[in-house]
A and B are shown apart, each in its own frame.
Chain A
Amino acid sequence: MKNRDVSFWLFLTPVLVALGLVVVVPLIYGTIYSFTDWNGLVATKFIGLENYTRLFSDELFLNSIWFTIKFSVVTVIILNVLGLGLAILVTRHIKTNNFLRTIFFMPNLIGGLILGFIWQFIFINVFGDIGKALGIEALTGWLSTTATGFWGLVILTCWQMAGYIMIIYIAYLQNIPKELEESAEIDGANSWQRFKSITFPLVAPAFTISMFLTLSNSFKIYDQNLSLTNGGPFQSTQMVAMEIVNTAFSANEMAYGQAKAVVFFVMVAAIALTQVYYNKKREVDL
């Protein structure tokens, strides 16, 4: 890295300034505010760790964390399986390859809010009508129970993000040298063995990336949550981001919400970093 001369830093400065202004400074300010009784307009006194100690007996907050963790585990698994599956499908030599890629990627272009409302319609009206017509009780009243709300969110998120994850896997799949596969085939490896011993280890870097993306994304979900269930019924499908927003803006407790946000930040950062560290270790080079 010899080229880190003056111009290197000069070129980097605008980005660093922007990053500092919109990420670092608010983070510092927010952390400071979380130790006060700030209400959004004025902070009158420093109350130490009170906000933080309160938070550990806040049922709603703990519930939302638990709900988010469950949701993340399920979506991360489904998304990666689905993403890799789709990627393998569209890297085969099928005629409609490009068409399929476009179709799978498309949901990712629609904003989360709109998607949420569309799926709300599907879950409630379409499912409901089909359920009524066929007499299947389980299809009516979707999103009105905690379980269906949970799966509704999972389906929505997977439908939206699978195409994006697919693109990442495609990039890595196409980089696998054909000779490897061919020689393995000549050696008599069947397709499952080829997948397990060649494809899978070589797309490991893609796992690192897409695990990171899906993990951090499912932890941070807000708009889909807002438009699909709005936390209902009875706040049981409320994710952490939404709980924090509600604390800060509906309950009018800015500082307390800020404390929750700090805890949330530390949690997501810790999980994401651990994940990247372990996945990196498992990657193999050619």
Chain B
Amino acid sequence: MRAKHLFSKVAVVAMIIGLFLAGCSSDDSNKSNNSEASSGDKVTIDIFQGKVEFKDQFEALAKQYEEKNPDVKINVKTVGGGTEYAPVLKSQFSSGDEPDIFNVTGPQDVIDYKKYLADMSDTEAAKAAIDGTLATVQDGDKILGLPFNQEGYGLIYNKRLFEEAGIKPEEILTFEDLEQAVEKLDSKKDELEIEAVFALPGKEAWVMGDHLANAFLAPEFDHDVMKAFESDTVKFERGKEMKRFLDLQNKYSVQPVLSLDYSQQVEEYFSLERVAMIQQGNWVYPSVEQMDPEVAENIGVLPIPVEGFEGSIPVGVPNYWAVNNNSDKEVVEASKKFLDWMYTSDEGKEAVLNELKFIPAYEGYDTEKISDPLSQDIYEYASEGKTIGWIFAGYPSNPWGTAVMGANAQQYLAGDMTWEELEKDAISKWEEKRK
């Protein structure tokens, strides 16, 4: 009797454990099916990417490629929003579930993932890449990644408001020009029905720490991201200019700046024409367009005035595609082919411009077809070589840009820190990291 009792208990427990294990194993069986398929007639490429904004368009592009190449299957997995991507990618690699195509962002990533990065120098896309866009991913003769696109930033301005105030944007080159224009706009605030000239998002450490500082630090490193990455120190040669420009934005901004964030800056203030100018990049275009298509048609980008580099704007590559060296040979080949197709075939180019709405980082694109006025402006600056380096990917990874420079700038704006203290602290933290 007792034995029977025990038996029934054991049976129940065995069943529970069985269910538990079955739940775990179903995943595995799927996977083995996949790899069987890839070793057979179909090649499966697993893409793991971090740009949420173009998730749907990119998936459609992959579908399009699959239709043309029935022997290739592409799985796209997107994890998004800047800082989210890096840790998930890392855990994927350390768990052994490695993607075939993934993203690297800066020199530190290239070093960390070096043993996984396949040489891409034999691809068409690498040959077509615009000069300078490959600096971060070059290792001797090897090219370890392909640029996504270019991005640029400056002072995005509202053309209608400038016109009504009688200001000619093309005449604004030096800091003095800008100051005059700002004062003029400020004096006509009521007529123009704006609240202030700028909306400075003091809440976003990256706007000041990464972008603003980048414009004034780039000349110090000869506009070369690798020089910044290898530098033991930062000198703030143009610290005074940086302060001057930040002060100007702060003085004529919607207050209080420290509680103003990115979405308020772009959507509430700029898109609704409550301010005339914001310091941002071409990525704001879709938001502005969503808020008010009419305003979006009427915006342009002004350079941040850096002495000696007037009329230039910071342009750079925020992200690179990398192919996993560890994958099967045919998968590596297929991955390269896909990226080549995406950036150099006619269909691919079409999609890059119209669907992904990129500013291409490759030669051979019809610039007229670039989707929005901001991107067109920036592509023009880039193709004329009027650029300031995009070096903040070479900052020490504290991350120095946001956690040190950005936070210090916030303290400066709050009045808790003088500019001298800001520089001193930023320099010592840079050096500390590079020891």
User: Which residues of A does B touch, CB under 8 Å?
Assistant: 5-7, 10-11, 13-14, 39-41, 60, 124, 128, 140-145, 232-235, 246, 248-252, 254
Contact = CB atoms under 8 A, between A and B. Distances in A.
A111 B190 CA distance: 43
B256 interface: yes
Contacts of A11: 9, 13, 16
Given A39-B112, A145-B414, A233-B410, A140 B397 contact: no
A4 B20 CA distance: 23
Given A14-B17, A233-B414, A234-B408, A141 B397 contact: no
A260 to B, nearest CB: 15
A96 B410 CA distance: 48
Contacts of A13: 13, 17
Interface of B: 6, 9-10, 13, 16-17, 20, 83, 86-87, 90-91, 93-94, 108, 112-113, 202-203, 205, 255-259, 264, 397-399, 402-403, 407-408, 410-411, 414, 416
A141 B9 CA distance: 64
A140 B257 CA distance: 11
A143 B261 CA distance: 11
B127 to A, nearest CB: 30
B256 A144 contact: yes
A147 B411 CA distance: 14
B20 A141 contact: no
Contacts of A140: 256
B414 A235 contact: no
A248 B6 CA distance: 49
A40 B403 contact: no
A6 B13 CA distance: 11
Which of A7, A13, A39 counts the most B-chain CB atoms under 10 A from its CB? A7
B397 A234 contact: no
Contact of B90 (A7, A40, A60, A145): A40
A41 B410 CA distance: 34
A87 to B, nearest CB: 36
B258 A14 contact: no
Contacts of B16: 11, 14
Smallest CB-CB A-B distances: 9 pairs = A144-B258, A141-B256, A144-B259, A234-B407, A7-B9, A10-B13, A40-B90, A234-B410, A249-B87
B112 A232 contact: no
A5 to B, nearest CB: 8
Contacts of A14: 16-17, 20
Given A13-B13, A145-B258, A41 B411 contact: no
A251 B397 contact: yes
Contacts of A6: 6, 9-10
Given A14-B17, A144-B203, A252-B108, A7 B10 contact: yes
B375 to A, nearest CB: 29
Nearest to B399: A250
A235 B407 contact: yes
B419 to A, nearest CB: 15
A58 to B, nearest CB: 11
A41 B94 contact: yes
B347 to A, nearest CB: 36
A6 B8 CA distance: 12
Nearest to A39: B112
A143 B13 CA distance: 53
Given A41-B94, A144-B256, A144-B258, A250 B205 contact: no
Contact of B87 (A143, A234, A248): A248
B203 A233 contact: yes
B191 to A, nearest CB: 22
B79 to A, nearest CB: 13
Given A13-B17, A14-B17, A141-B258, A251 B403 contact: yes
A235 B402 CA distance: 10
Contact of A251 (B112, B258, B399): B399
A252 B9 contact: no
A250 B397 contact: yes
B97 to A, nearest CB: 14
A232 B83 contact: no
Given A233-B410, A249-B86, A7 B258 contact: no
Nearest to A246: B403
Nearest to B116: A41
Given A7-B10, A14-B17, A233-B258, A144 B202 contact: yes
Given A41-B90, A252-B108, A232 B203 contact: yes
Contact of A235 (B94, B403, B416): B403
A129 to B, nearest CB: 12
20 contacts: A6-B9, A7-B6, A10-B9, A10-B13, A11-B13, A40-B112, A41-B112, A41-B113, A124-B259, A141-B255, A141-B259, A144-B256, A232-B205, A233-B203, A234-B407, A234-B408, A234-B416, A249-B86, A251-B399, A252-B108
